[in-house]
């Protein structure tokens, strides 16, 4: 659950399916689309933990996909190097570089990324 947030009566501040609490409303709790957002007042997001978890999972899936893409590129370059002239240090270096990129991606922290994106 989030802290209380002041709303100035402008446009709806969250997506329709975000569950909110509005203490000065006839409907106190429900999805955001239930409320009249032209009315000034406070609100708080009730399912923020689910939103945060979905964001983190999305980041995790994105990092996993990036890691797999780097590993695939590493394997392709390594196979190209093995099939060709082994004295081609350029291909070997590119392959090693993709492996290093995969390691870097693997070590990124989804929670840190989510926190930095929120600021």
Is the pTM above the cut of 0.75? no
Task: List CB contacts of 10: < 8 A, sequence separation 6 or more.
Answer: 37
50-106: pLDDT as tens digits: 888 888 899 999 999 898 888 888 888 777 777 776 656 776 777 777 888 888 888
63-74: pLDDT as tens digits: 998 988 888 888
- The residues that bridge with 42 in the sheet, in sequence order, are 6
- The residues that bridge with 44 in the sheet, in sequence order, are 21
């Amino acid at each position: 659950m989030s802290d209380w947030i002041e709303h100035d009566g402008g446009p709806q501040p969250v997506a329709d399916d975000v569950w909110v609490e509005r203490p000065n409303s006839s409907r106190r709790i429900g999805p955001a689309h239930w409320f009249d957002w032209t009315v000034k007042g406070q609100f708080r997001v009730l399912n923020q933990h689910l939103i945060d978890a979905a964001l983190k999972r999305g980041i995790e899936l994105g990092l996993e996909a990036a890691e797999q893409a780097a590993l695939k590129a590493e394997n392709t370059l390594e196979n190209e190097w093995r099939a060709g002239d082994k004295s081609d240090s350029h291909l070997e270096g590119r392959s090693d570089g993709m492996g290093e990129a995969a390691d870097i991606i693997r070590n990124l922290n989804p929670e840190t990324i989510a926190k930095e994106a929120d600021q």
